[in-house]
Amino acid sequence: MFCINCGKQINDGEHICKGCGKLSAGIRDELLALSEKTADYKCEKCGGDIRAEQHYCGLCGAQTKAGA
């Protein structure tokens, strides 16, 4: 699989691109699906679902309301 952000190859079993540090598309989709079940609000940067106690978005790393 190749990183959708920088185009570098991501080996099987790896979830983070060694080229740019972003999450692989597959794990990002899994995290998004899981977070939709327990979300309290949306991340202002990427739209990912956030639980109230999270200080950073699990998808993009942006600081959340709880972390501000």
DSSP 13-67: T--B-TTT-PBPHHHHHHHHHHHHTT-SEE-TTT--EE-TT-SB-TTT--B-TTT
Q: What is the pLDDT of residues 10-55, one digit of tens each?
A: 888 888 888 888 877 777 777 777 666 667 888 899 988 888 888 8
pTM over 0.75: no
Domain shared by 30 and 57, yes or no: no
Whether residue 24 sits in one domain with residue 9: yes
Q: What pLDDT is recorded for position 35? A: 62
What is d(CA 50, CA 33) in angstroms, rounded to the nearest whole number? 12
Residues 32 and 49 in one domain: no
My answer on whether 17 and 5 are in the same domain is yes
d(CA 17, CA 28): 12
Same domain, 5 and 23: yes
pLDDT of 66 higher than 80: no
Asked if 29 and 57 sit in the same domain, the reply is no
Residues 44, 30, single domain; the answer is no
Look at the chain and report how many structural domains it folds into: 2
Please give the residue range of the domain that contains residue 5. Answer: 1-37
